[in-house]
Amino acid sequence: MAYIPTPVTVVSGMTVDGPVAMVVGSFVSVSLDPPLIGFFVTHGSMSWPALQQAHRLGVSALASHHDDLARKLSRRAPDRFARAHWHYEEGMPPFIRDAVVTLTCRVESVTPAGDHRFVLCHVESLASDTSAPGMVFHDRAFAQPGPVTARRTPARVSYLTPLETTD
């Protein structure tokens, strides 16, 4: 599955103890009418129990310039979200600043799916910023999609540009 590009998203919420977030690499658009999205959470997630308590969830699709942030957020350190650049509004979940897309959602259902749970959410609002390309995770690395110029392409042609690491 490492060769299937997936968007890099951060799911966040505001709880009585403050903001909580987790990186999700399984974001999927489910339906346009009604507007539904989904993502998968492993049964061992340390963040999901707190996120379930949030009134609303925020989804931030990261931009290609968030590569350092994505690496930091992917670690299991307890303070990994402390240095993220958050955008807060009263009564709303926190969002990552300069995200390509932000969604405000409410959880509709949580369904067991093997060693994960599938979280289905109703989208209440969506905002987008097309000034930067989005980020995907492909072949165990962060990348940005490249331009697609033809509908039919030969096998093994890559339209993903690896992002340089600065570590």
pLDDT tier for residue 153 given thresholds of 50, 70 and 90? very low
Residue 162 pLDDT > 60: no
Dihedral angle over CA of 112, 124, 136, 159, nearest 10: 120
Q: How far apart are the first and last CA of the chain?
A: 25
pLDDT digits (tens, 9 = 90+) for 45-84: 888 999 999 989 999 999 988 888 888 877 777 676 777 7
Mean pLDDT of the chain: 84
Residues 6+ apart with CB under 8 A from 50: 13, 15, 17, 20
Question: What residue spans define the domains of the chain?
Answer: 6-162
Class of domain 6-162: mainly beta
pLDDT digits (tens, 9 = 90+) for 99-140: 999 999 999 999 999 999 999 999 999 999 888 888 888 888
